[in-house]
Structure 1
């Protein structure tokens, strides 16, 4: 591990520790963030920093969309939320791609992505109700190229970004949010509909992948 990687990891760990001292939950973070929203540039900078360290805190990605919607509304909040949700997918993806080995899981993942396509596999996987970081790690293990990963993430996170931004833009403040309300940002019917689209998109490549493993 070279010096730059050690410094980057050390800085990330330091940020996580500092944030952990003051923030006990995503809801607590949002309640403390309300006062920053009066300064749009500072608010954007804070959200960008949080998007980088969020994977290490295991917070939901919709937190970023809710905050963006609250501060900037639908028109500006949606593209900014997509940017944040794409940026926050990078740390687990890059770390997984750097640490990937040569075992069977890596081989199977690469074969599946080869049949499905980099962009298609990432976008469709994010339609499924799976944790965002799990999808990012899987893409890293499969050695998905960076640009298709970014584009696939932006497309795949779009439904969840819309839901989060819509909720955020309708709020009068962030202090009243709870962990339960954050968890229920996305309607179950939306989850089912988007997941069905993801399954349809992946059905053909997944079937070919499974049958090829059996032969």
Structure 2
């Protein structure tokens, strides 16, 4: 085994250990239970949310937590800051996957999907699907999406989820319950998925048409 592969496995193993250990000793609920203390001082709120954005990938917490906290403390005016933090906190998993995960069948399939769909559109559509944020980030890194396209696509695709988080944070009842999973209105989820389908529809149809054309050509060629 060459050194680069060994180093990649060591880094991946260490990251898994850190995530597992952090998950055992902490949870988003612990942060939400101290929300009143955080929002009492705007400077403290901003500092803590920035720190959470930096370490969130290691803790495997949902990005919605940042929007919820800022919604609770700043209301709708916290939307631009929340969107910026949600976008930036998605970068570490993307960079890790881009550095160490560009080989294998999954990476090849992701790259083929990106080439057919487009860099920005593929990220936007993936973000609109209610899937874990870090999974989408890793997939984009493995597929070789350029950093600028990843940032732009993430910022656009996360807009509905940040809005949901901001509105949920404005509700003291939702925040007190610590119910991040229930924060997203079903109508928002359905609307986001419909937009994702519309974005991916032409690519899926083109892929199907190409396969159908190839299959028909093979059949006709075999008859000659």
TM-score when scaled to structure 2? Answer: 0.80
Cross-structure match for 1:98: 99
1:15 to 1:113, Cα distance in 2 relative to 1, 3 A: closer
1:211 to 1:141, Cα distance in 2 relative to 1, 3 A: farther
Q: What's the CA shift for 1:54?
A: 1.6
- Counterpart-to-counterpart distance in 2, 1:17 and 1:123: 32
1:104-143 superposed matches below 5 A:
104-143=105-144
TM-score when scaled to structure 1? Answer: 0.83
Q: Would you say how many aligned residue pairs link Structure 1 and Structure 2? A: 205
- Counterpart-to-counterpart distance in 2, 1:57 and 1:20: 10
Give unpaired runs (5+ residues) of structure 1: none
Alpha-carbon displacement from aligned partner over 1:8-32 (angstroms, at most 9, x marks no partner): x989x879967864x3x21221112
Higher relative contact order (CA 8 A, sep 6+): 1
Alpha-carbon displacement from aligned partner over 1:148-199 (angstroms, at most 9, x marks no partner): 111110110000100110121232895x233xx2210001121011101101
Q: What's the CA shift for 1:37?
A: 1.5
* Mapped contact 1:52–1:88 kept (Cα < 8 A): yes
Give unpaired runs (5+ residues) of structure 2: 5-9, 215-224
- Counterpart-to-counterpart distance in 2, 1:15 and 1:109: 25
* Mapped contact 2:22–2:59 kept (Cα < 8 A): no
- Counterpart-to-counterpart distance in 1, 2:38 and 2:193: 35
Cross-structure match for 1:200: 198
- Counterpart-to-counterpart distance in 2, 1:105 and 1:210: 20
1:91 to 1:79, Cα distance in 2 relative to 1, 3 A: same
**Runs of 4+ with >6 A deviation:** 13-16
Cross-structure match for 1:177: 177
- Counterpart-to-counterpart distance in 2, 1:154 and 1:74: 17
Larger radius of gyration: 2
Q: What's the CA shift for 1:59?
A: 1.8
